[in-house]
Chains A and B, each alone.
Chain A
Amino acid sequence: MDDSDKTKEQAAKLINDLQDINFVKIVVILFAAWLIIFLAQKLLPILARNGPSKLRLTILNVVPIVRLLAVSFAILRIFPIVFNVTFQNFLVIAGGASVAIGFAFKDYVSSLIAGVVATFERPYRPGDWVEIDGDYGEVKVVGMRALSLVTPSDDVITIPHKKLWEQNISNSNDGQRTLMCVTHFYLTPDHSPALVRDLLRVVAMTSAYLEYDKPVLVMLENQPWGTHYKVKAYPFDMRDQFAFVSDITVRGKAALAELGIEEAAVLAPLENASRTL
């Protein structure tokens, strides 16, 4: 037997004969995996939305794990049905796949692998508020290749997981139900800073959205145009973060006006431009 015959035989063994491949079984496995993922993606967010608030993030976090398990299950079940799994064949397939990935699907596979890493390292989870590459929003979906953010302006932004390798990811709540909100006040210099600091602290303390178990802090710093105050506090539900900041702003301005304290009419440097309403 010459070399060409040997090569043909090996190639035939790499993939099982068509008559040996159980296509019905493959379809059933694919359908089962799809059904599990579909149900997890549809039902768990509903359960999270309508269930106890404390369990919302936990339930949402189950979705990517279920999807990863379902896809892994499907691949592991289908692979031996289609391929003749031997060590030699594995090397052949890995070699072929490496070339294909290296030239055509590098970014795609990089995102897929980053997605798997993200599932375990959890730099972001569904329900988290994150800032990636200047975009700030709530993580709605963590998919296999990318995640979807919904910004405060209700824009949906799709970001591939491979950003994980390249960018710093700022997670505001990191799986917690709350996150720190910063409310800014810019005041003219002629006032008592101690009085204003106490006043703004009490204003934050009396907000309806306040989380009791977290601290309320008021920071201030001198600026050439006056004093910049930052009220740092936590709402009990991070979905209320903008309502919380608005509430402190409205009532803080009213309380300052009662004391006759004027706000500075100068342009201040805009901080965290992406985290605006």
Chain B
Amino acid sequence: MFEKALIGSKKYWGLAIGLLAIMGVGAIFYLQQWNYGLGITGMSRDVSWGLYIAQFTFLVGVAASAVMVVLPYYLHNYKAFGRITILGEFVAVASVIMCLVFIIADLGQPTRALNIVLYPTPSSILFWDMIVLNGYLLLNILIGWNVLASERKSVPPPAWVKPLIYISIPWAVSIHTVTAFIYAGLPGRGFWLTAIMAPRFLASAFAGGPALLILLSLIIRRFTKFDPGKDAIQNLGKIVAYAMSINVFFILLEIFTVFYSQIPEHMHHFEYIFAGLGEHGKLVPWMWASVSLAVVSLILLVNPITRRRESILALACVIVFFSLWIEKGFVLVVTGFIPSPLGRVFEYTPTVPEIFITLGIWAMGFLILAILYKIAIAVKEEIEA
């Protein structure tokens, strides 16, 4: 099937070359980071995780695109999603690969990465995250590829794929939960020390993943002969509406607990993102942008009249994606360190090399996605023709 990725239109090759070019620029900056060390980034003694770990956190959420189509199709026999399960699974594959590469990019000693496997440490949440992320990657590659190959031959998928599909559903929950546990179990980091962290990760993932899937489906319909289906897109829209509402509700719960209890170690972080601490307020405009985008997206998604118009649904999905990116892909990680446990406010701004390395990894993810989608859609077009 892979040969299908090698035959494509000019647009396909143009996209691939464009993404390769961005990856190339990222790679050059990564060499610089390799030589100099992570000091080339904006990270500091106080803010010791930044853009890379935040992207990893956000992209774990994007990987939820798979489970939100797999679950209704395989557990509830919702046929409309049958056409797009492969699209969800391949987004999951691309996002989990990006997650792993972002972790490697963030390591001070990347050549020692295998120490996690050589000295397995079950008390560390990072050890479990390594297991659940790699497992989820493997599950989605195996399921996606085999189901697609059988579809091409018009035969049912091999019997051993079915149990893997069932396993992949709770496994998807595990990647969000375990990633949330990285943050939610640390003493002295009041911003993260909240039992609702895992539910928040799940809610934002079930909004962000399907939102991206809707956008990709609309792009596919426009540029290829394969139509993911109006029903599928509309029902994904409902999932995004519910998940985003729950996500906003969860954040409001956090705000209540923090500001009503008035415990400084928890409250200072929220003050930092919503109002700034003293003259320090770099994240304030970002946070309010995220909040405003979330509110606008909810208005557009909850109202059936706007949600049913595909162009407005697409706009709402873009808004959801950016709102969640600001919140999970930046603010959530950085604010955990500001103020520091010693009460110091040391702000964080990503540097140019850091931003280009990040863009390079995103480009790599989109290239993987483009190749996988090319194969999937070529097969679908072949079947329908």
Q: Do they bind each other?
A: no
